Amino acid sequence: MAGRRAALKAIDWVAFAERVPPNQRTMFNNLKTRSDAIAAKLTSLPEKPLAIDWSYYRSVVAKAGMVDEFEKKFSALKVPEPVDTQTTIINAQEEEANKSATAYVEASKARIAQYEKQLEKFKNMIPFDQMTIEDLNDTFPETKLDKEKHPYWPHKPIADL
Amino acid sequence: MLAVCVCRCTQCPLEGVDSTSASVLSRCFTRISPVSAILAALCREGHREAETRVPRCCRNLVLHPSDMLSRLVFVSASALKSSGPIGAGVVHASRCLHTSSQSLAPVPPLPEKGGKVRHGIIPEELFQLLYPKTGVTGPYMLGAGLLLYMLSKEIYVINHETFAAASIGAVIIYGVKKFGPSVGAFADKLNEEKVAKAQEVKDVAMSSLTQAIDDEKKEQWRVEGRAMLFDAKRNNVAMLLETNYRERLHMVTNDVKRRLDYQIALQDLNHRLEQEHMINWVEKSVISSITPQQEKESIAKCITDLKALAKATQAKATA
């Protein structure tokens, strides 16, 4: 009996709930309800079954030897433990999740770097009232008027005015 | 003439009127003739160069959006653009000259107000120039003398045009004095609106960027919690296994108990059946052993007994 059961890790459901993004909240709730049901079922079962009162049976049952036979076979019986098939699968899932998570974090960091670069550009640009039109075109290339495509004033389609 | 007027754009041709009126003038001119716009650009560049190279002319280079030159930039930008190639070339040329002799720092902001003028035309520098030698009244004497000289020597001849010029000048001065500030304020407002719009765009962009950065950080933090999910799953699996095992144990015990109890129940049943059978058999045999003779005798006996009992009770009742 000993060493069969891996110690159950205490799970902080509150902290777990904080980290769940809102679009996965239903899945998290389902998981929680399932886990709670399983835990309740586990606690409802006593750990050891009630011991059989052999002396009483021996005194009552008339057939000789039957009770002794039962008792012998019963104590010799070993109930097989259920085989754990899922833990390896779960571990594999965890590996995959870790991989995708690191990839996502990398991408996220790249995005953050991009955003910060743009933020720096905004922070370091000269105030609008000190700009000339050339400075404006340098800072925001999209404001540059395309003189080749539209050679005549106003150098942009009339609809854009 | 027009060109000369515009050239002095930074030194306000009309005294006592602030730079707004001059901007009105220049704006009119630039609207009408792109050529003057080019000249305005030239003068602007020249003025900027002059400003940076001749510091004594610089007043405080304080930035102010209502500076007439910035108004020129924004309001007459369209006029400039039409004379694109020439203006651009000139602007660039002066820019290169500008930067080659000095550092590559960006051009300092345009001065808030144009150069100071007295009586709307005459630059203050002249007065300052002459002050050490001729005092306060010097330039006025110079002006009066020059005027007198030109009139008396008939270098400037008074004719019909003089009166026309005087009347037109009076009307223009009146108009500018009356409407100058409001028009200037209007142009300033246009300018402000443009700047405010750009500023708003910038603010929105910055706030959305910071927000995006925060969101990304939050998502990263969220991702860190993935281990908890797998712990929960493993826990579930372990709990299920444990439950299953306990159920099996219980099942075994219960089954053994049931069988033993069955044996006991079987025994009891047998015992009971035997008992009942025996009783029935004894009863049957007793009843069958009662002969008719015995029956009659027992009935007669019963009757005599009953009579005796009746007599006894009657006696008891009457007594």
Non-local (6+) Cβ contacts of B119 within 8 A are B15, B16
Strand partners, B280: none
Is B112 within 8 Å of B67 (Cβ atoms)? yes
Q: Do A50 and B263 touch (CB under 8 A)?
A: no
Closest-CA residue in chain A for B188?
A129
**pLDDT for B193:** 94
**pLDDT for A142:** 86
B246 CB neighbours in chain A (<8 A) are 42, 45-47, 49
Can you tell me the distance from the alpha carbon of B120 to that of B118, in angstroms, rounded to the nearest whole number?
5
B70 CB neighbours in chain A (<8 A) are 129
CB neighbour class for A124 (10 Å; exposed up to 12, middle 13-18, buried from 19): exposed
Low-confidence ranges of chain A (pLDDT < 50): 1-3
Q: Do B228 and A19 touch (CB under 8 A)?
A: yes
**pLDDT for A3:** 39
ipTM of this model? 0.76
**pLDDT for B90:** 44
- Could you write out the DSSP letters of every residue in A24-66? GHHHHHHHHHHHHHHHHHHHHS-SSPPPP-HHHHHHH--STTH
Non-local (6+) Cβ contacts of B219 within 8 A are A21, A104, A108
- Convert the pLDDT of each residue in B53-63 to its tens digit: 433 433 443 33
B239 → closest Cβ in A42, A57, A154: A42
B210 CB neighbours in chain A (<8 A) are 119
For chain B, the straight-line distance linking the first and the last C-alpha, in angstroms and rounded, comes to 172
pTM for the model stands at: 0.54
Low-confidence ranges of chain B (pLDDT < 70): 1-107
Residue B294: strand, helix, or coil: helix
Phi-psi region of B147 (alpha: psi -120 to 50; beta: other; left: phi over 0): alpha
Closest-CA residue in chain A for B228?
A16
Is B191 within 8 Å of B70 (Cβ atoms)? yes
Can you tell me the distance from the alpha carbon of B219 to that of B91, in angstroms, rounded to the nearest whole number?
50
Which residue has 């930035």 as its token pair? Answer: B63
**pLDDT for B118:** 86
Which residue has 């100058």 as its token pair? Answer: B180
Q: Which amino acid is at B286?
A: V
- Could you write out the DSSP letters of every residue in B70-122? HHHHHHSHHHHHHTHHHHHHHHHHHHHHHHHHS-SPPPPPPPSS---EETTTE
| CB proximity B164 to A under 8 Å | no
Phi-psi region of A3 (alpha: psi -120 to 50; beta: other; left: phi over 0): left
**pLDDT for B58:** 37
- Convert the pLDDT of each residue in A5-44 to its tens digit: 666 777 888 888 888 888 888 988 998 899 899 889 888 8
